[in-house]
Amino acid sequence: MPKSFGGILRRFVNLGLSILLAILVGSLIMLWYKRNPVEIYRLLFMSAFGSQRALFISLQRATPLIFTGMASMLAFRTGVFNVGVEGQFFIGAIMGTFVGYAVKLPMILHLPLALLTGFVAGAIWAYFPTIMRQKLGISEIVTTIMTNYIATYLVSYLVNYPMRESPTTAQTPPVKATATLTQFVEIGKGALGKGSQAHVGIFIALAVVAILYFIFKRTKLGYEWRMVGLSFPFSQFGGINLDRTFIGGMLVSGGIAGLGGAVEILGVWRKYKDLFAIGFGFRGNLAALLGRQDVIGTTVAALFYGSMEAGAMGLDWAAGIPRQLIDILVGLMIFFMAAEGMWDFLGRIKIGAASTERRTTGQES
Amino acid sequence: MTAAIEMRGIRKVFPGVVANDNVDFSVEEGEIHALVGENGAGKTTLMNVLYGLYHPEAGSIHIRGKPIHIRTNSDAIHAGIGMVHQSFKLVPSFTVTENITLGAEPTTSVFVDRKTARDNVVRISEQFGLKVDPDARIRDLPVGVQQRVEILKTLYRNADILILDEPTAVLTPQETRDLFGVIRSLVAGGKTVVFITHKLREVMEISDRVTVMRDGKVVGTKATKDTNPAELARMMVGREVLLRVKKEEASPKDVVLRLDNLKVRDDRLLMSVRGISLEVRAGEIVGVAGVEGNGQRELVEAIVGLRPAAAGSITIGGKDITHQSVRVRRESGLACVPEDRYVRGVALQASLQENLIVDSYYKQPHCGGGLLNLKEIGDFSNDAIEVFDIRTTGKDVPAFTLSGGNLQKVVLARELSSQPALLVVAQPTRGLDIGSIEFMHQRIVDARDKGAAVLLVSAELEEVMSLSDRIVVLYEGKIVGTVEAAKASEEGLGLWMAGITEGHAVPHSRGEKEALDA
């Protein structure tokens, strides 16, 4: 049995090996298409980290993923699989947009109201699948997937009809300046973040990370979430109210996703364009998986994923490499990491090669 | 005379532990050889090596004087070795015949020859006096009969040497007696039997010789008639143990737990507890004896609040908590050591400390204003580790790194920390070694002496008899008898457990009936 330190060490080794293997397999794919993998990886790295501009683009791409990653992670940790992060993100975005353009208030009230609306909207959207599971016993995996479709088409309808501004494009009116999150390029008169739309929403994202970290480490609520996630029967036996914990975790998860949607609109887009972004929710799910459902791990994974996306955009521009390649690379990494048992297995063969391996699932008396 | 089995210098290492350290073990032809030791002493490992399931790092095996290289399970079977594991490996929906012949069916060209298969099974079962119905389905059979099918399976494959791994763990006293009859007839029929157990009474009753293991080594081998339980126990644990629990006369006070005509349904919604009325007073231990599956599990779950009561009422300290949450019940003075230690008792992935506070994390001194008081919790955990002698490297290690005995100490430490008025204890020592059992028993008696009302549910008759002040026997969801522990006899309790009261059989289901008839 691994002690905690050995476990952490092995996890890092696993992560490194997974990335390495993904890069290797990715290289094979590139070679297949007669591309030079070394050159492509260099371009990828440069477009993600190679300049101040690259770093800010990475930050911009990572910001929404931190929200959706935190939302997924929180649900995972409380023992629920919230595949509905995608839909909650959209609902939060559209409601944040609405408050952004339809309400007239001073900034000090307007911006917080728009953000809060995004949070509440996401939470409400998460409430339906939650209550269906609690009252009717329907798996939240199924219902959250279904509510994603409803969210996508509902928002598409809103943008195309009631909330549409221009007859030529499906988009809402722009949000008022009092509801926007300032972009770095706007602060430093171009000294910071030139060529990117990175904005101060990243600090909101990091605040969410810090708050969740604190909740899990230090509070009664965090203990309940953690224990319910680790073992239902144990928590129930100890007297923890499973229903309340589950519903609470799901609502906060949906809220964070919705907040992320509002932040993305108010920071980057400043109006809602139909299909402005797809897949933030799913990539958040993946970041939580890559980050091993840990607050810090998921944050790092989201930042990593964001910079890979920035790199992919750079690749697309500079070398005409389709950005889907990056999705393949990240997919491979998750695949190899998920095969944790495989590393143990390989390790055991090495140890056991001199003698013999165990033949059955060991039963000790 | 050559030995039937001769194992020399067996060494088997698992990551971090030497399970068998230079073990010599030999069994004479035609004897019943008991292999005893605490949990983790290496008994099962040694037998799994013999049966070809593990490969030893060193050592040799001789069968009837001939050196033999056992590489796989089928090598062992070919050499005439058969093993009955603790958990049976039978297909529930198949018949007895199908299970016994599975994988070695007689065939006519391409079809299974069912008649020959059945005849073979009947012949073997008659030859050794193992009565079974060859056409019954496994799922309809009681555990004792299923075990018999397992034994027949090995005989069908021409085993001369039978290894029985803790065969009595799941049996009632009557079934155990039947099993012993079977073992004697096997030996009379020329077979050799290795019998793994940690119950010394059984060793004395059935075996010709006994080998004691401790910490992966053989402590010694004795002829059973030249030894006694106290000596064997000393060899097992390396010190004197008390086989009876030391306790004073109980002085019961007010009623703490009152069950009034309680009825509870099981998972299949069948009435499993069918009207139990019972009182447990402060300062007494009431033992619930009975064969497992007669409503004990549902009874405990209903008291703790994990399963709704279908009818009747549950009162703790005068307060009706029949429909209250687990939290309210615990606040009313309930604590419980649950039956499924690894499922409900602890969260294996959580740390030791997190496991210790699941009933107290939300209130002073462990929590104030929604914030956990990590200093208080840390001190509390360290105290618990010290007081309950939990063997661990620290309070932050995950629970799965602890052994079963230490995990049970974690559960007990937590549940006793609330100074409960009512302590419900279910199967507290299942799978534990003698040292841990003694520790658990002493703590349970201590809790009683501090004024707790204790309800003890256990499948171990010996445990119920030695701990309880009063014993009730559960049969088919009802209390069929109540007796002062001092006046209880194993014989009498055993009859009640089988549903027989005053010489009349209580009406019972088909499975139970077969257990009696068989």
The model's pLDDT over A173-206, given as tens digits with 9 standing for 90+, comes to 999 999 999 999 888 777 788 888 999 999 999 9
Give buried/exposed letters for B167-180 (b at 16+ CB in 10 A, else e).
bbbbbbbbbbebbb
* Predicted TM-score (pTM) of this structure: 0.73
Assigned CATH for B242-333+419-518? 3.40.50.300
pLDDT of residue A342: 57
Tokens linked to A118: 């995004």
Same CATH topology for B3-237 and B242-333+419-518? yes
State the Cα–Cα distance between residues B203 and A50, nearest whole angstrom: 75
Contact B347 A363 (CB under 8 A): no
What is the Cα–Cα distance from B447 to B416, expressed in whole angstroms?
Answer: 8
Of the candidates B176, B204, B229, which has an alpha carbon nearest to the alpha carbon of residue B32? B204
The residue extents of the domains of chain B are 3-237, 242-333+419-518, 345-417
Neighbours of A310 (CB within 10 A): 26
Long-range contacts for A155-161 (Cβ within 8 Å, ≥24 apart)? A155/A90, A155/A91, A155/A93, A155/A94, A155/A272, A155/A274, A156/A274, A156/A275, A158/A94, A159/A94, A159/A272, A159/A273, A159/A274, A160/A274
In angstroms, what separates the C-alpha of B415 from chain A's closest C-alpha? Answer: 10
- Looking up tokens 């992966």 gives B216
Q: What would the pLDDT profile of B284-342 be if each residue is shown by its tens digit?
A: 999 998 876 788 999 999 999 999 999 999 999 999 999 999 999 999 999 999 988 88
pLDDT of residue B88: 82
Q: Which two tokens stand for residue A141?
A: 């995996």
Compare A142 and B234 and report the one with higher pLDDT: A142
Asked whether the beta carbons of B42 and B11 are under 8 A apart, the reply is: no
Task: Return the structure tokens found at A30.
Answer: 């590139």
B170-217 pLDDT, tens digit each: 777 778 888 999 999 999 989 999 999 877 788 889 999 999 998 788
Indicate yes or no: CB of A236 within 8 angstroms of CB of B326. yes
Mutation site for A-interface testing, chosen from B344, B352, B366 by largest number of A Cβ within 10 Å:
B344
Architecture of domain A36-320: Orthogonal Bundle (1.10)
Contacting residues of A for B357, CB less than 8 Å apart: 223
A239 touches chain B (CB under 8 A): yes
Give the CA distances from residue B433 to residues A159, B37, B241, B438, in Å, rounded to whole numbers and listed in that order.
Answer: 69, 8, 12, 9
* Two tokens, residue A348: 């055991």
* pLDDT at A69 exceeding the cut of 60: yes
Report yes or no: A227 at the B interface, CB cutoff 8 Å: yes
Q: What DSSP assignment string belongs to B447-507? A: HHHTT-EEEEE-S-HHHHHHH-SEEEEEETTEEEEEEEGGG--HHHHHHHHTTEETTEEPP
User: Rounded mean pLDDT of B410-428?
Assistant: 94
Q: What is the mean pLDDT of residues A348-357?
A: 42
B327 touches chain A (CB under 8 A): yes
Query: What is d(CA A167, CA A160) in angstroms, rounded to the nearest whole number?
Result: 9
Q: Tell me what ipTM this predicted complex has.
A: 0.82
Residue A355 has pLDDT above 50, yes or no: no
Q: In angstroms, what CA-CA distances link B314 with A167, B299, B307?
A: 70, 11, 12
Chain A residues with CB under 8 Å of B362 CB are 220
- State whether CATH 3.40.50.300 applies to domain B3-237: yes
